[in-house]
Amino acid sequence: SWNQFNRFPWHSFIWRGIDGSEIIAHFPPEDSYNSELSPAGLRHAQENFEERDRLDEFLVLFGIGDGGGGPTEEFIENGLRQMDLEESPRVRFQPAQEMLDRLGQNKHLLKRWIGELYLELHRGTLTTQAYNKKMNRWCERKLREVEALYSLLPWTHYPQARLDALWKKVLLNQFHDILPGSSIKLVYDTTRKEYEEIKAELIALTSTAGAALLQQAEGSIAAVNTLSVPYNRPVSLPSSWTGYAVVDETGMSVPVQVSEGTPAALVEIPAFGSIVLHRGPAAPVTESDLPQSPILENGLIRYEFDATGVLVRIYDKEAGRDVMRPQQRGNLFSLYEDRPANWDAWDVDIYYENQLLQTAQCSGWNWVSDGPVAQILKFDFTIAHSRIEQRVYLARNSKRIDFFTRMDWHERHRMLRVSFDVDVQAAEANYEIQYGTVKRPTHRNTSWDMAKFETVAHRFVDLSEPTYGVALLNNGKYGHKVLDSTIDLNLLRAPTSPDPEADRGEHEITFSLLPHRGALEDSAVYAEAMQLNQPPAVFPDRTGSVVFPCTLSGEEAIVEVVKKAEDEEAWIVRLYEPRGRRAATRLMLRDKNMRVYETDLMERTISEWTPKEGALELHFGAFEIKTLKICTQ
């Protein structure tokens, strides 16, 4: 009912989600969650109710809803007087569930809505208060990691009460005005302290888990991959390892490179696995001649920048394809006037697109490092009163280019965006949401298409043709725009109400560009997004290996959760199909005598499954979620 441009057609309807499942939905036609049960409000609801030709009741949400209060005596009296009042809808006080149960009995009278329920308002909440959004993402991923690590120890080690308290604090800060960035300054002063406390405790819990799982060994490092896909990226080493060779458990030399005093090794860690690196004999830090131009290149791909820090060419060697046309540009920082008509922290209005103030000016660039692990460039930008420092990183074994970006932001009513224009033609782009993706138009044919000028994505948005595509990944941003062939990420806003200091200060974010062969469904985008957001847990001066309760045979499904069950000593493993197609995978158990039960999301048992020789064949529908409980005999 708050839509800015288009009227949603129904109040009572069937809503089908991305996995094909359906629920009955009802939007109270008074268009309010603060009803006073006034005759005028109820008459409006009656006349506004779209299904009034076939349904004879609707819900009214009465009371002081936004502040969490209940109804006043006056509201109750209004309702009592309208229980049988001529010319007024008859009021009945009942639990909402009773009305919804009756609505379910009339399912055959309801229309169906397929896909997302996009709100054409409050698009700025995808970006405002960037620190909270990034820390929420970090805490969710770190909690996932800690749960997985402690699931490898005896249950007596599992810190269930501490994890429960940490989860509740993280979830409390997802309240509808805190995480969206629409609270007052005092709230964000408080949440910053809370996030710092949560972070410190999670780091301490990780260290304790490592000490219990692994053996002490000076001069060694253990790295544990809690993902259900292999980790094939560089990992940072302690600065004390500078000047030493590095070998793996078999004694094979590992590529190492020192950049700005920090060594990194290029490693491959199996899915749900671990590796150990050992510090070898002293070795000189070799200095190679650095290239003279800002071009990052490996055996798979070539990225060319100009002296202003703008990406001007991408050539995919593997595909034999230019990813940008000559006039297209990438890594383009743009600053816009950002004064929404209403609701400063909440809204972004479409007319911002006509209020471009300037693009970033590059004050200098230089090479940071060029070695066997990665090539790294550094760019310094200025834009209005703010500065941007960027390190651009291309690993030797990947097409993914990472933009480690630090922003010193001192603006008011300005919006900073970064864009990549690529040579990919597609009428729809794919946006990752929780446990799946949604498709949205890249054009503005209709008012419904136009209204989606700013939309949400979690870890990536992807623009693909049937045989080739480009994805933009991130580790803590949500506001996106894909128009024609341009992928655009909203980095920072600068509202002044209700927090007059919103987002002023320093921010860090990593966004990554990933050209890939094939459409999204056949690409490495999912695995790369997981690796960007969930690097391995690294334990200095430790050695040993870990064994997870189960592994997957491939990447057709993703394991999102490995943790202890809430009410018993068993593992909970939650998986989902990410690509929107039917899939099968094989779940291998570490003990063939384990018992497996399928449960709902509340961990209530649905049925028992019988493994064969310690393995289960799992079959998924499109975007299906499965929750398994695994028990020992």
Q: What is the 3-state secondary structure (H, E, C) of 215-283?
A: EEEEEEEEEEECCCCCECCEEECCHHHCCEEEECCCCCECCEEEECCEEEEECCECCCEEEEEEEEEEC
Question: Is pLDDT at 284 greater than 90 in this prediction?
Answer: no
Q: In 10 A of CB 106, how many CB atoms?
A: 15
SS3 content of the chain, % helix, strand, coil (to 5): 20, 35, 45
How large is the average pLDDT for residues 33-37? 94
Q: Which residue has the tokens 């604090």?
A: 169
Q: Evaluate whether 181 touches 133 at the Cβ level (below 8 Å).
A: yes
Q: Evaluate whether 133 touches 476 at the Cβ level (below 8 Å).
A: yes
Residues near 445 by Cβ (< 8 Å), separated by ≥ 6?
none
Q: How far apart are CA 225 and CA 536, in angstroms?
A: 5
pLDDT at 65: 83
Per-residue pLDDT reduced to its tens digit, 196-247:
999 999 999 999 999 999 999 999 999 999 999 999 999 999 999 999 999 9
Of 266, 268, 262, nearest to 285 by C-alpha is 262
Q: How far is CA 218 from CA 234, 235, 281, 543, in A?
A: 21, 18, 14, 9
Per-residue pLDDT reduced to its tens digit, 439-490:
999 999 999 999 999 999 999 999 999 999 999 999 999 999 999 999 999 9
Question: Is pLDDT at 417 greater than 80 in this prediction?
Answer: yes
Residues near 459 by Cβ (< 8 Å), separated by ≥ 6?
432, 473, 474, 475, 529, 530, 532, 533
Q: How far apart are CA 257 and CA 565, in angstroms?
A: 42
Question: Is pLDDT at 288 greater than 90 in this prediction?
Answer: no
Q: How far is CA 327 from CA 28, 422, 606, in A?
A: 50, 10, 57
Helix, coil or strand: residue 457: coil
Q: How far apart are CA 561 and CA 150, in angstroms?
A: 12
Specify the DSSP class assigned to residue 426.
Answer: -
Helix, coil or strand: residue 540: strand
How large is the average pLDDT for residues 156-181? 97
Question: Is pLDDT at 158 greater than 90 in this prediction?
Answer: yes
Question: Is pLDDT at 529 greater than 80 in this prediction?
Answer: yes
Share of the chain above pLDDT 70, in %: 99
Q: How far apart are CA 35 and CA 55, in angstroms?
A: 21
One-letter amino acid for residue 310 of the chain: V
pLDDT at 289: 81
Helix, coil or strand: residue 506: strand
Q: In 10 A of CB 66, how many CB atoms?
A: 10
How large is the average pLDDT for residues 304-328? 98
Per-residue pLDDT reduced to its tens digit, 487-525:
999 999 999 999 999 999 999 999 999 999 999 999 999
Q: How far apart are CA 277 and CA 540, in angstroms?
A: 10
Q: What is the DSSP string of 184-218?
A: -HHHHHHHHHHHHHHHHHHHHHHHHHHHHHSEEEE
Q: How far apart are CA 2 and CA 15, in angstroms?
A: 18
Q: Which residues pair with 598 in a beta bridge?
A: 607, 628
Q: In 10 A of CB 490, how many CB atoms?
A: 24
Q: How far apart are CA 142 and CA 149, in angstroms?
A: 10
CA-angle at 161, arms to 157 and 166, nearest 5°: 110
Q: How far apart are CA 318 and CA 397, in angstroms?
A: 12
Q: In 10 A of CB 515, how many CB atoms?
A: 25
Residues near 320 by Cβ (< 8 Å), separated by ≥ 6?
none
The H-or-E segment that residue 617 falls in is: strand 615-620
Q: Evaluate whether 518 touches 467 at the Cβ level (below 8 Å).
A: yes
Q: How far apart are CA 58 and CA 513, in angstroms?
A: 48
Q: What does pLDDT average to over the chain?
A: 97
Q: Are strands 625-631 and 595-599 parallel, antiparallel or unpaired?
A: antiparallel
Q: Evaluate whether 446 touches 493 at the Cβ level (below 8 Å).
A: no
Q: Evaluate whether 194 touches 173 at the Cβ level (below 8 Å).
A: yes
The encoded tokens of residue 66 equal 């936004």
Per-residue pLDDT reduced to its tens digit, 263-283:
999 999 999 999 999 999 998
Q: What is the CA radius of gyration of the chain?
A: 27
Question: Is pLDDT at 633 greater than 80 in this prediction?
Answer: no
pTM (predicted TM-score): 0.97
Q: Is the dihedral of CA 132, 137, 142, 144 positive or negative?
A: positive
Helix, coil or strand: residue 583: strand
The encoded tokens of residue 538 equal 């690294």
One-letter amino acid for residue 307 of the chain: A
pLDDT at 497: 98
pLDDT at 287: 67
Q: How far apart are CA 410 and CA 503, in angstroms?
A: 8
Q: Evaluate whether 33 touches 1 at the Cβ level (below 8 Å).
A: no
Per-residue pLDDT reduced to its tens digit, 356-408:
999 999 999 999 999 999 999 999 999 999 999 999 999 999 999 999 999 99
Of 103, 95, 79, nearest to 30 by C-alpha is 79
Q: Evaluate whether 163 touches 170 at the Cβ level (below 8 Å).
A: no
Q: How far apart are CA 175 and CA 55, in angstroms?
A: 34
Q: How far apart are CA 362 and CA 370, in angstroms?
A: 21
Q: Evaluate whether 631 touches 590 at the Cβ level (below 8 Å).
A: no
Q: In 10 A of CB 326, how many CB atoms?
A: 8
Q: How far apart are CA 294 and CA 357, in angstroms?
A: 27
Across 10-24, 55-69, 393-407, 519-533, least confident range? 55-69
The H-or-E segment that residue 100 falls in is: helix 96-105
Of 529, 562, 568, nearest to 229 by C-alpha is 529
Q: How far is CA 219 from CA 235, 261, 539, in A?
A: 16, 18, 11
The encoded tokens of residue 19 equal 């996995």
